[in-house]
């Protein structure tokens, strides 16, 4: 006969035990632990059963069994020394659809007591269908060694984390992955290792939620990395980095740190944004310090807003470490002033593409005549970019520069005008487009020699600079 394995809630249910000797005592004890309302019918009882009765943990009636004792009973255990009485109790219970267990007599049982490894709310039950209780006991002893008392504490922490995840706004599939990861053998080993390395031996202390740092890596030059970013990279447990973070910056990360490329370079998507969210939350819930390393500055077209929302919804602490954004790095390296009192009093930062599609992003309907425009991720559809600029009121004669791989040793700059932008070469990504009259104020002669600027830019820049000196 195949048994149906189940764990039953007995709290508050009326359970009857007939017999209170050495056979019945452990059965009574297990019912008390389960929170059942226990009645005992027996002429005699062990000292432990009598004490339970005195403390009102059970009700004991010192008399012989009567069939009316089954009234209102959910289940009954027959533990007398009379095989005939036990069999009669089983038959009577069966007629009333009451579950019955006759101790040590499998043919008169609706259910069996399994061998149990109790670890708090974790219970591992072993049944042999009544064929060999001795084998069940041996397996139980082996499992007690394999699953120590620490599993009970761990399960409690897992339960609290599960409640936290269900209480927050998190995608069901993401939540499922997290819960499975937290219950993995690897997660348990990490917690055990943490216990050995802390003065506080409680699992609650070692299972504390970690923290996520959204860190700006700058545009590429490792010397533009902030001191705080460098410190965090050297102390992080996990680094999740963009595809555009330079190898020189990644070289600062210790070899012992877990590093994963989660880049989504245009046209070569490796991983979805929701998966990045899951990785951050998952590692933080494992108690790890996570660095989400982004090229440039995380708050400028770095999708930090989405990641901050995901971390808040999961109840994860986070911190933002700003970096040198690409616009500032590119302009500084090419010696292009983004603002100037007589030329530009505003800087407009826009991106070339929407987050979810390849369509051109929305720009301001009107760009001020004295503004410098910086286009992040302009792509190679320069004709569409030029049309966007013209529609926003930027004159076709306005100079613009495409900066490729800014601040790196491979940096290239191509200078043209808005009206001629469509003829520009496809320089290696990542690229940045700077548009505005401030380009005429960059070191004209040096840029003409270094980057091949048209001679008219050099002359116009010198003339403009001279007129400003006279005005001052």
Q: Which residue has the higher pLDDT, 161 or 78?
A: 78
Task: Specify whether the CB–CB gap between 378 and 431 falls below 8 A.
Answer: yes
Which listed residue (27, 69, 221, 242) is catalytic? 242
Specify the range with the lowest mean pLDDT, choosing from 36-50, 188-202, 232-246, 379-393: 188-202
Burial 219-248 (b: 16+ CB within 10 A, else e): bbbbebbbeebeebbeebbbbbbbbbbbee
Q: Report the distance separating Cα 439 and Cα 221, nearest Å.
A: 22
Sorted by where each starts, the structural domains of the chain and their CATH numbers stand as 14-113 (3.40.50.720), 151-205 (no CATH), 211-324 (3.40.1010.10), 327-471 (3.30.950.10)
For the chain, what is the radius of gyration of the CA atoms?
37
The residues near 50 (Cβ < 8 Å, ≥ 6 apart) are 60
* pLDDT score, position 463: 39
**Active-site annotation holds for 190:** no
Average pLDDT rounded to a whole number, residues 265-281: 77
Which listed residue (156, 190, 228, 264) is catalytic? 264
* pLDDT score, position 361: 62
Give the pLDDT confidence of 341-394 residue by residue, as tens digits: 888 999 999 998 644 444 556 788 899 989 999 999 999 999 999 999 999 999
* pLDDT score, position 340: 92
This model's pTM is above 0.85:
no
Specify the range with the lowest mean pLDDT, choosing from 85-99, 142-156, 411-425: 142-156
Whole-number percent of the chain with pLDDT over 90: 58
Task: Specify whether the CB–CB gap between 258 and 291 falls below 8 A.
Answer: no
Give the pLDDT confidence of 134-188 residue by residue, as tens digits: 898 999 999 999 998 888 888 888 888 788 777 766 667 767 777 887 788 877 7
**Active-site annotation holds for 264:** yes
Structure tokens at 334: 């090419």
* pLDDT score, position 421: 95
Give the pLDDT confidence of 430-454 residue by residue, as tens digits: 899 999 999 988 765 445 444 445 5
């Amino acid at each position: 006969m195949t048994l149906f394995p189940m764990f039953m809630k007995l709290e508050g249910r009326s359970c009857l035990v007939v017999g209170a000797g050495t056979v019945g005592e452990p059965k009574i004890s297990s019912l008390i632990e389960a929170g059942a309302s226990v009645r005992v019918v027996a002429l005699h009882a062990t000292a432990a059963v009598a004490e339970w009765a005195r403390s009102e943990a059970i009700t004991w009636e010192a008399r012989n069994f009567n069939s009316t004792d089954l009234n209102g009973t959910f289940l009954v255990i027959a533990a007398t020394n009379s095989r005939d009485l036990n069999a009669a109790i089983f038959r009577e219970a069966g007629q009333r659809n009451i579950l019955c267990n006759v101790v040590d007599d499998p043919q008169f049982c609706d259910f069996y007591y399994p061998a149990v490894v109790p670890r708090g709310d974790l219970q591992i039950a072993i049944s042999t269908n009544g064929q060999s209780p001795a084998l069940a006991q041996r397996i139980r002893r082996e499992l007690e060694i394999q699953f120590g008392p620490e599993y009970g504490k761990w399960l409690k922490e897992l339960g609290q984390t599960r409640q936290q995840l269900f209480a927050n706004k998190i995608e069901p599939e993401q939540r499922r992955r997290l819960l499975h990861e937290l219950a993995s053998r690897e997660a348990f080993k990490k917690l055990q290792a943490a216990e050995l390395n802390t003065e506080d031996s409680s699992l609650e202390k070692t299972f504390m939620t970690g923290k996520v740092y959204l860190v700006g890596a700058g545009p590429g030059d490792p010397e533009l990395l902030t001191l705080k970013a460098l410190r965090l990279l050297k102390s992080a447990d996990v680094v999740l980095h963009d595809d555009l973070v330079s190898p020189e910056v990644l070289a600062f990360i210790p070899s012992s740190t877990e590093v994963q490329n989660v880049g989504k370079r245009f046209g070569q998507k490796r991983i979805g944004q929701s998966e990045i969210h899951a990785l951050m939350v998952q590692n933080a819930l494992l108690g790890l310090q996570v660095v989400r390393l982004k090229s440039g500055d995380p708050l400028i077209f770095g999708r930090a807003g989405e990641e901050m929302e995901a971390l808040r919804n999961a109840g994860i602490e986070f911190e933002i470490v700003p970096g040198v954004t690409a616009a500032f790095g590119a302009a500084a390296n090419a010696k292009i002033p983004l603002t100037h009192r007589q030329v530009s009093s505003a800087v407009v930062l826009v991106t070339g593409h929407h987050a979810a599609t390849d369509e051109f992003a929305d720009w301001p309907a009107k760009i001020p005549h004295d503004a410098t425009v910086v286009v992040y991720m302009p792509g190679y559809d320069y004709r569409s970019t030029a049309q966007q600029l013209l529609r926003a009121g930027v004159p076709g004669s306005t100079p613009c520069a495409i900066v490729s791989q800014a601040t790196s040793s491979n940096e290239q700059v191509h200078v043209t005008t808005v009206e001629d932008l469509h003829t520009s070469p496809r320089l290696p990504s990542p690229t940045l487009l700077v548009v505005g009259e401030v380009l005429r104020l960059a070191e004209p002669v040096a840029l003409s020699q270094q980057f091949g600027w048209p001679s008219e830019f050099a002359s116009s820049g010198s003339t403009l600079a001279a007129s400003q000196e006279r005005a001052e």
